[in-house]
Structures are given as structure tokens and as C-alpha cells.
């Protein structure tokens, strides 16, 4: 149905934002195409945000392909903001790095 991985830091540190203190990284985020539009992705992302906040992280960051404007728009509607970009080795496209503040009063 769907998957998401959250970890304290992104081991591939070609993007400095993923290595900042207090920033958890979400990646390998996907929903089966036959199940998209059912809220599964939003639920997975909400659980990832909850886990990160409960474990003391200030932000949850992720990246997505720059051409995937529909995903960038979705993440923006869910409170994510663009914080940078990265060209991952072996990829023919750039990725947009997005982050959401999990503790707005901190």
C-alpha cells in the first residue's frame, strides 16, 4: 500500500540540510499507484511527523524530484516549505528539498 522511512539524518550528505541538528529526514515515501488518492500518503506522512516530533526533532525534511510539481504542491499544502535543492549522484533530475516545522512554538 505505502511506505515511508524516517531517520535522524540522511546518510547521503550531498545535501547539507539533511545533516542539520534537529532535522529528521523522510525518504522512500511512496503509495501504490492503485491506492493513491485514498489518504494513505497523508496518513503515513502524519505518522512520520508525529514520530519525529515525539523524538525531539524540530523539523521533518524530505526531497522530491523537481519535475514533480504536483507533489511539491501537495507538500506545500501540508505545511512544507522549500529550503533548497540537491543533485543526487546518478540522477538525471534535480530534487527540491522541503521541510516542515514540527514545533512551531520552539
What percent of the chain is predicted at pLDDT more than 90? Answer: 66
3-state secondary structure labels for all residues of 72-100:
HHHHHHCCCEEEEEECCCCCCCCEEEEEE
pLDDT-based confidence at residue 12 (cuts at 50, 70, 90) = low
| pLDDT at residue 18 in the model | 84
- Domain at 18, CATH number: 3.40.630.30
Overall number of domains in the chain: 1
pLDDT-based confidence at residue 106 (cuts at 50, 70, 90) = low
* pTM listed for this prediction: 0.88
* 47 domain-assigned: yes
* 106 domain-assigned: no
60: phi > 0 → left, psi -120 to 50 → alpha, else beta; which? beta
Pairing between β-strand 23-31 and β-strand 2-7 as defined by DSSP bridges: antiparallel
Q: Could you tell me which of 4, 72, 1, 69 has the C-alpha nearest to residue 38?
A: 1
* 65 domain-assigned: yes
Grouping H, G, I as helix, E, B as strand and the rest as coil, residue 47 is helix
* 11 domain-assigned: yes
The parent domain of residue 6 ranges over: 2-101
| pLDDT at residue 64 in the model | 94
With beta carbons less than 8 A apart as the criterion, state whether 88 and 12 touch: yes
* 59 domain-assigned: yes
pLDDT-based confidence at residue 67 (cuts at 50, 70, 90) = very high
With beta carbons less than 8 A apart as the criterion, state whether 89 and 14 touch: yes
Amino acid at each position: 500500500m505505502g511506505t515511508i522511512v524516517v531517520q535522524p539524518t540522511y546518510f547521503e550528505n550531498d545535501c547539507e540540510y539533511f545533516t542539520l541538528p534537529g532535522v529528521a529526514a523522510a525518504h522512500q515515501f511512496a503509495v501504490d499507484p492503485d491506492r493513491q488518492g485514498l489518504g494513505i500518503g497523508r496518513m503515513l506522512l502524519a505518522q512520520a511527523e508525529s514520530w519525529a516530533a515525539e523524538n525531539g526533532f524540530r523539523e521533518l525534511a524530505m526531497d522530491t524530484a523537481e519535475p514533480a510539481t504536483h507533489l511539491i504542491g501537495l507538500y506545500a499544502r501540508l505545511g512544507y516549505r522549500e529550503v533548497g535543492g540537491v543533485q543526487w549522484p546518478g540522477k538525471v533530475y534535480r530534487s527540491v528539498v522541503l521541510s516542515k516545522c514540527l514545533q512551531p512554538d520552539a
